[in-house]
Structure 1
Amino acid sequence: MIALAALLPSGVAAAGPDRDGGGGQAEGHRRHARDPALQTLADRVVADPQPNPGAFLYARDGARVRSGAAGLADRSTGAPMDPDLRFRAGSITKTFTATVVLQLVAEHRLRLDDTVQHLLPDQVRADNALSGAPITVRQLLNHTSGLYDYLEGLLPRFRGLDQYWPRDQLIGIGLAEARYFPAPGTRFRYSNTNYLLLDLIVERVTDRDLRTNLERRIFKPLGLRDTSYPLADTTIDGPHAHGYADVSQLLPHVPDPTRYDVTSLSPSEAGASGALVTTAADTARFYRALLRGRLLPPAVLRRMLDDTVRTTHAPRPAVGYGLGVYVYATDCGPAYGHGGSAPGYLTFALNSRDGDHQLVAHTNWNPLVETGLDKPFWAAFQEGYCARPSTT
């Protein structure tokens, strides 16, 4: 058995039940108070004519946990939405991936200014996007590489919801197209290709795949027993919310194509950029541990949060992006975290800088193809973050 201390950067303490108010599993399934303000917001998200089958908002203020939930987690059985259910977390995965990368930086096994071309020379070809100006690890982390987002090239290759997408194929799609801009580091352009390359870098540096690194460095030390990183398995183990999407452009002849059950979707299409399955409690626990310095040394954590670029093509409250973390401008001050968009699922995690005030907001409807902003949900999670506990 490998000692826990060997899996963490020097000077970083392991988070355990005695340091964080209870173990991960107990925290995830404890009774949390239904809060009138959060309940009102959840009700608003699922109210007709909105397409969202269900929604919840899960807040933590210090040791106090409260929530609101409305609608259905499973339309076929009528099971109600509940904050304890597992769901696909989408791009919240990026903060987990970035944390592993920054742990390697803290261990002096990797530098933010190392270039992809140096770390992954086999990926460089005269006919792909890595043949241009060098791209650094920092620029992958903060989405200033300019690399084409492979997700934009998936639809013509779509064959079915359970289709397995090899990482090399996805990276190939991302590198086969011209960069969005030629000079890396000059501006922000979100691209999932960046995080697949980081996945490959982690594997090369540690000689272990990303799943093993996530499990040994984050999941097990923090007791995230309801969190997993599946790639080939299209099912979600344990109690979970079903995800629904608008598949009318892909599968127009299926019953109810605007709210079609896409739960059994291959997570391989997201990988290190979005394959995580988790719960609200585990998500909050991860961000709390991260922001309180239990996963990264102080200097590296400050760099993660403060080495930001101004976001473009992202609606407010997102105003900046650090090294795997969004900065949100809310009515009650800046918040840190990430959004997660997966087919059938939409989640946002917002946290105060010290990790003491947190909100995880989730709805189990999200289109496979872009159909515009989910405005009621967007408004609800912003308002929910700033809502303080009821005194009643």
Structure 2
Amino acid sequence: MTATTVLAVLALPATVSAAPRHHTDRSGLQAQLGRVVDAGAVGALAEVRDEHGVWRGVGGTAETDSMRPVPTAGKFRAGSITKTFVATVALQLVDEGQLRLDDTVEHWLPGVVPNGEHITVKQLLNHTSGLYDYARTLQMPPSPKFLEGRLRTWTAAELVQRAVAEPPTSEVPGTAYKYSNTNYILIGQIIEKATGQSYADEIKRRVIRPLHLHETSLPGTSPRIAGPHPHGYVPILQDGALHLVDYTEMNPSMFGASGEIISTTRDLNRFFDGLLGGRLLPDHLLDEMKTPGVDKGRYGLGLAWHDTKCGVPVYGNDGDAVAYQSWSFSTEDGRRQATIALTPDFTGDLDDAVDAFLDEAFCGR
């Protein structure tokens, strides 16, 4: 996830509304979604799928200066959930024999990464490469300079160069987990070398089209979010005080293969249903995806997991695209799924409230 500075800024009132309920009372879900907004979000939207059908809910507002509700089927920047799409394509290439998990970075990208002959594709995918996270070298909120680069186009090579200019976080690749967006920028480049096509085109061909994810896109350098969407904000220091600044439009090349995807709650639930249901990968590679890179870890090959309060493990990923945050998880059998996205107002820590919403989705009746 992209590192941001969470600071107290202008507090916003929370208003909550719900989409029509299906088959059963979902007041618990709507109440928890309202608590997410109260904990520090301008707006939030969610979709839950279970044995009772499909529930969609929204809370808060789509913009800070308006009472316009969050669109129930609104689009948002899904951040690091992109990594699961990228990892899926990489593993499909493994299945086809075009790529191997023990291939080295040096093999595919000679001279690009110091010590690249000792860093494997698998270590990039499970964040044990030891490569520094390029995101930590960029200007971030609340610095006003952060806004100066909102429309700048970054190349993958530029981002990697910023990372390798810093010392590695681990001297021996494969021995320690350290989340780094640099890993997936490199995986994107390797996919392009292996296929002759961009990682974005391969995701469209191999994942988006087969699963009919009609509202999911990889915008490249386009700053706009096409279609209904909530606005996203960042806290910026201006005239000696912190203010929320609209950051909906920005050049997503800053994220690239580590986090550029735009999607919806419906599409992300459909994606993880297809992935965990075996429609995208054979069982042995899906098992690889679920295997942590380090002992007792909770991150495999582009896939994360955690236990709910009722002890049910759920698989998926979460994403931080600076002005948008999202979580998408599913039970292993796919019987229950939940995706929630929000636009933070940076007044507090949202993790506990989001965890409570997911617990309600996976453990409630």
Structure 2 residue 310 is matched with structure 1 residue 325: no
* Distance across 1 between alignment mates of 2:243 and 2:362: 32
User: Could you tell me how far 1:63 is from its partner in structure 2?
Assistant: 7.1
Bigger shift: residues 298-307 or 187-196: 298-307
Match of 1:143 in 2: 127
Over the matched positions of the two proteins, sequence identity in percent amounts to: 40
* Distance across 2 between alignment mates of 1:306 and 1:39: 34
SS in 1 for 2:317: strand
Does the Cα contact within 8 Å between 1:44 and 1:376 map onto a contact in 2?
A: no
Structure 2 residue 317 is matched with structure 1 residue 338: yes
Match of 1:131 among 92, 115, 131: 115
* Distance across 1 between alignment mates of 2:204 and 2:20: 27
Aligned residue type for 2:364:
R
**1:297-336 aligned within 5 A:** 297-310=282-295, 320-332=298-310, 333-336=312-315
Structure 2 residue 338 is matched with structure 1 residue 362: no
Aligned in 2, Cα 1:32/1:145: closer, same or farther, shift over 3 Å?
farther
SS in 2 for 1:80: coil
* Distance across 1 between alignment mates of 2:121 and 2:348: 31
Aligned in 2, Cα 1:199/1:372: closer, same or farther, shift over 3 Å?
farther
SS in 2 for 1:74: coil
User: Could you tell me how far 1:155 is from its partner in structure 2?
Assistant: 1.1
**1:235-246 aligned within 5 A:** 235-246=224-235
Structure 2 residue 152 is matched with structure 1 residue 163: yes
* Distance across 1 between alignment mates of 2:324 and 2:168: 29
Aligned in 2, Cα 1:355/1:235: closer, same or farther, shift over 3 Å?
same
**1:171-210 aligned within 5 A:** 171-210=160-199
* Distance across 2 between alignment mates of 1:213 and 1:306: 24
TM-score computed with the length of structure 1 as normaliser: 0.81
Structure 2 residue 277 is matched with structure 1 residue 282: no
User: Could you tell me how far 1:78 is from its partner in structure 2?
Assistant: 2.4
Bigger shift: residues 163-172 or 271-280: 163-172
Aligned residue type for 1:40:
A
Counting matched residue pairs gives: 339
Match of 1:70 in 2: 59
* Distance across 2 between alignment mates of 1:174 and 1:51: 32
Does the Cα contact within 8 Å between 1:233 and 1:266 map onto a contact in 2?
A: yes
* Distance across 1 between alignment mates of 2:317 and 2:345: 16
* Distance across 2 between alignment mates of 1:245 and 1:85: 19
Match of 2:75 in 1: 86
Does the Cα contact within 8 Å between 2:29 and 2:361 map onto a contact in 1?
A: no
| Alignment gaps of 5+ in structure 2 | 1-18
Q: Deviations over 1:3-31 (max 9, x none)?
A: xxxxxxxxxxxxxxxxxxxxxxxxxxx96
Does the Cα contact within 8 Å between 2:79 and 2:259 map onto a contact in 1?
A: yes
Match of 1:385 in 2: 361
Q: Deviations over 1:93-120 (max 9, x none)?
A: 0000000000000001100000001111
Aligned residue type for 1:342:
A
Q: Deviations over 1:13-65 (max 9, x none)?
A: xxxxxxxxxxxxxxxxx966472111101111222xx4311113321115711
